[in-house]
Amino acid sequence: MTSPSLPPGPPGHPLLGNLREFAADTLGFATRLAREYGDVARFRIVRRTAYLLSAPEAVERVLVENHRNYVKHTFFWRKVDAIFGRGLLTNEGDDWLRQRRLVQPAFHHERIAEYGRIMTDYTLDRLDGWRDGEPRDVRGEMTSITFRIVAKTLFDAEVADDAAEIAEAFDTGIEEIARRIRRPVLIPDRVPTPGNLRYRRAVDRMDRLVYRIVEEHRDGGDRGDLLSALMEARDEDGRTMSEKQLRDETITMLLAGHETTALALTWTWYLLSQHPEVVTRLEDEVDALGGEPPGVHDLPRLPYTERVVREALRMYPPAYSFGREALEDDEILGWPVPAGTTLFVFPWVLHRHPRFYPDPLSFDPDRWTDAFRRELPRLAYLPFGSGPRMCIGREFARMELVLIVATIAQRFRLEWGADRPTPMASITLRPTGGLEAFVRRR
C-alpha cells in the first residue's frame, strides 16, 4: 500500500529509508525494502526520491531498454571524483563511448587468452612465499596477486613493491568515500578537514604510481598494451589524450581491475572453507590436470571450478549495488519515474531472492545446471551489470578467477580460524573481521 503522505508512485514509506538506516545496514535495509514493498520500492535518501528495483524486468528497463535515459547517479559519483576522475567507470555520453571503444580491444577474447599465463605465473610466484600451516590474510594475499596481474597485463608494469601501499591508499580513499556517503552534506575536497587531508594523501600516492607507469611508457615506445594504445590514440582533430585523461583511465583500470576480483576470491575461499564436500570435488577436478598449472586451454576441463566461482559471485557479489539517475520522466512496470529519481539495483537482493534461487542462502555450485541457467531470467544474475555499461573486464575476471582458484587448489587448502568474516557494504562488498586462514599444503 502506498502511504497517503507520498505522491503517486510505487509503494514505500517516507520514514523507511532515512540515510542513517540505509548507511547503518545497507544490505539488510535493501533486503527488507524489497521483501516488504515489492519489485519497485520507494524510499527517501538525502532528500531524494529513490527506487529499489528488484524485478529483472525493471532492471532491464533501466540498464538496457531505455539506458539512454539513465546516467550513473551523482549521489554517489560526485564523491569519488578525485580518485577516478573521468575514467571509463564514471564518464558519460559521447566521451564515455569514445573511451570505451578505445579500451575495448584490450579485452577482446584473443587478447585475454594471452593474459592467462601471467595470471597463473603471478599466482605461483605468490604461493612460493606460503609455508605449510601458517596463517595468511586472505584478502591481502588475493589483492597482491590481482593487482600485479592487472598492472602487468594491461600496462606492462611491475608493481609487486607497490601493492601493499596502494592497497592501503585505496582503502583510505574508500573509507573516506563511505564516510562522505553517510554524511548528507558534501564538504568540498579543498577544505582541509582531517578526512579530506587523508583522502588527498591517498589520492597523491595512487597518482605517483600512475604517473610513474605513464612515464615509463613514454620512454619505452609502443609496447602493444592498453596504455600504449591509449597514448597512441588520436581524436578527430589528431590530438592525443590529455595527461589527466590518461591518468583517469589508468587508475580506473588498475583499481576496478583488481579490487573486485580480490574480493570475489576472498569470498570464494571463505565459502570453500565452510564446505569440505565442495573442496573435495574441486580438488578432484584440478588434480585431473596432472600437476601442471592450468592454462587457458584447460578452462573447458574446469567446469566445476567455474560453477564454484559463479556461485560465490551470486552469494557475495563484489559490486553488490549500483545506481542510476533518470534524466527524463519514464515508467517502470507501470510506476511513474519522475526525472531526477535515483534508482538502485542490488545484485545482493536479486541473487538471494527465493523467487529465482531455491534455498538462496545455501552455497550450492551444483545449482548451475544448463537447464537452471536457461530458465533463470537474464537479469536475475548480474554480478557484472548489464547493458552498454556492463563491466568491460567481465571475461578477464571470469577467466582470472577460475585460473587462480585452480592454481591455488592444486597446491593448498585454506582453513579458516574461528573468526568469520562478515560482509560490509562499502563501495564494494568487503569482508570485515576474520580474514585470516591457515594455508595447508596438499
Residues that bind ligand HEM (CB under 6 A): 72, 88-89, 100, 150, 252-253, 256-257, 260-261, 264, 318-319, 322, 383-385, 389, 391-393, 396-397
Considering the complex, what minimum distance in angstroms separates the CB of residue 392 from ligand HEM? Answer: 5
Distance of CA 320 to CAs 128, 313, 344, 362, 398, Å? 33, 10, 10, 18, 17
CB half-sphere exposure, 91, CA atoms < 13 A: 17
323 and 73 in contact (C-beta within 8 Å)?
Answer: yes
Considering the complex, what minimum distance in angstroms separates the CB of residue 268 from ligand HEM? Answer: 10
Nearer to ligand HEM, 319 or 406 (CB): 319
Cell, residue 225: 598494451
Considering the complex, what minimum distance in angstroms separates the CB of residue 203 from ligand HEM? Answer: 18
Q: For helices 394-411 and 138-155, what crossing angle results, to 10°?
A: 130
E strand or H helix at 147: helix 138-155
Cell, residue 3: 502511504
Nearer to ligand HEM, 12 or 323 (CB): 323
Nearer to ligand HEM, 16 or 59 (CB): 59
For residue 70, the cross-strand partners are 326
Nearest-Å Rg of the Cα atoms of the chain is: 22
Distance of CA 41 to CAs 58, 153, 383, Å? 11, 42, 21
Considering the complex, what minimum distance in angstroms separates the CB of residue 197 from ligand HEM? Answer: 28
Nearer to ligand HEM, 262 or 435 (CB): 262
Task: Determine the residue with CB nearest ligand HEM.
Answer: 393
Considering the complex, what minimum distance in angstroms separates the CB of residue 104 from ligand HEM? Answer: 9
Considering the complex, what minimum distance in angstroms separates the CB of residue 150 from ligand HEM? Answer: 5
Considering the complex, what minimum distance in angstroms separates the CB of residue 133 from ligand HEM? Answer: 29
29 and 19 in contact (C-beta within 8 Å)?
Answer: no
Nearer to ligand HEM, 9 or 385 (CB): 385
The single-letter code of the amino acid at 137 is D
Distance CA 15, CA 95 (A): 39
Nearer to ligand HEM, 116 or 318 (CB): 318
Nearer to ligand HEM, 12 or 393 (CB): 393
Q: Look up residue 379 and give its DSSP letter.
A: G
Considering the complex, what minimum distance in angstroms separates the CB of residue 48 from ligand HEM? Answer: 17
Cell, residue 31: 533486503
CA angle centred on 27, ends 193 and 400, rounded to 5°: 90
Nearer to ligand HEM, 142 or 278 (CB): 142
Cell, residue 382: 548480474
